[in-house]
Amino acid sequence: MMSEPVRLSKRMSELGICSRREADEWIERGWVKVDGKTVSQLGSKVLPHQKISIEKQASQEQARRVTILINKPVGYVSGQAEDGYKPAVSLISEATRWKGDPSKEKFKPSQLRSLVPAGRLDIDSVGLLVLTQDGRIAKRLIGENSATDKEYLVRVKYLKPGKLPENDLQLLRHGLKLDGKPLLPAKVNWQNDDQLRFVLREGKKRQIRRMCEAVGLKVIGLKRIRIGQIKLGDLPPGQWRYLRPEEKF
């Protein structure tokens, strides 16, 4: 059976070499080879068995890409500036770098270029936010097939008399729908009388707040403390550090 040819940039993204956008840049620069021959035509197609390799310059450029972990405070948006609110990237400067950052990486303003949030954190939520120049990391954290879980501590208030019934807690774990679509199973447990711990494998807009609303809980505070294997740890609010090469989500 003949396999269908696919766009070279799509295939490179599927193989985890880089993002599609990076692939297109590298193809234009003549940094991509298919079966040993340079391919510099955008939109070129390849068959699944063909061998794709990249030039040294592409690997070097990719190695220079930084990923930054920030403890986002309330009042900042994750991505583009909106409604007069500043984006989290505006917090990043030499002065706000955490003194405890063990990375040897030197801060350069050029690192702020094409630094994109890999996932959202609402304006009124705090905690771990990842900003990256590396398309592979963005894909791993927010791609359609991402299996990276995220952990949150959520302070809540029950708006009905008494305590949240056990079957409503079960609903938070599995059975709710948002925008007409069933949510993936989540881990939800009480940490203490007014705080829940959520572990999710998806990140729909205002998901935890909307899940809580559905069972009569009002969210008072929300903090993300972990993404995959990377923990917020001792990083102070409004400060940031580099992801180190040996750290993996």
Residues known to be catalytic: 122
Q: Give the C-alpha separation, 134 to 4, whole Å.
A: 29
Q: Are 133 and 67 in contact (CB under 8 A)?
A: yes
Cα 174 to the chain's mean position, in Å? 23
Cα 184 to the chain's mean position, in Å? 18
Cα 161 to the chain's mean position, in Å? 37
Q: Is 84 exposed, middle or buried (0-12, 13-18, 19+ CB in 10 A)?
A: exposed
CA angle 119, 122, 161 (to 5 degrees): 125
Backbone angles phi, psi at 65, to 5 degrees: -70, 135
